[in-house]
Amino acid sequence: MRRAVVALPALVAVLWGAVPVSAVSAAPGTGWEPAPATPWDVPAGARCDFPVHGEPVVDEVVRRVLAVRPDGSPQRVVYKGDLVVRVTNTDSGASHDADASGTAVVDYRADGSQTWRVRGPVLVGVAENGGNLPRGLYLVDGVYTLDIDSTGYKTVTMAHGTLDELCSHID
């Protein structure tokens, strides 16, 4: 499997919006530490036309803090490790296992915005008018950046890669 990027704070950021810098904390240079994802739910219309539940079925994600601010909050964090998320249409029960095992370096800014430099697949949820992709739940794979501004607006800029819209897999 490829290496993963989506950990608890990262998965929440991708699906819901920017994560406060204080949500990720560790001292730089302390080595790799577990960064487990948690199950999540989005209501009908938020990403897909139906309610969606996501739950990690494989989660070996770790993170390493590369830089911190003077106040001790992380400024740059790298995420890696295997991650497979089962995405389920909770109305019909249809599900799809999404391999989100990419690698990313994430820069957390004091205003709550983030920049992800990614290689490999990551889950990206986009609200209506919430990004440069239409509303949906995507597996973005390749080499790309994901910018999340302080309002949660997501901009995916592909150097090379693919988008797989997951709502259609579980409709």
Does the pLDDT at position 6 exceed 80?
no
Mapped onto helix, strand or coil, the DSSP state of residue 160 is: strand
- Locate tokens 């992709």: which residue? 133
pLDDT of 24 higher than 60: no
What is the reported pLDDT for 28? 61
Q: What is the pLDDT of residues 74-118, one digit of tens each?
A: 999 999 999 999 999 999 999 999 999 999 999 999 999 999 999
3-class SS letters over 33-84: EECCCCCEEECCCCCCCCCEEEEEEEECCEEEEEEECCCCCEEEEEEECCEE
CA 92 to the chain's CA centroid: 25
Cα separation of 148 and 166, whole Å? 20
At residue 95, the 3 state secondary structure works out as strand
Q: How confident is the model at residue 123 (pLDDT cuts 50, 70, 90)?
A: very high
> Who contacts 71 (Cβ-Cβ below 8 Å, separation ≥6)?
none
If residue 9 lies in a helix (H) or strand (E), which one and from where to where? helix 8-16
- The 10 Å Cβ neighbour count of residue 148 is 25
The answer to whether residue 8 scores a pLDDT higher than 50 is no
What is the spatial distance between Cα 36 and Cα 67, in angstroms, rounded to a whole number? Answer: 20
Note the pLDDT of residue 22: 40
Residue 4 has pLDDT above 50, yes or no: no
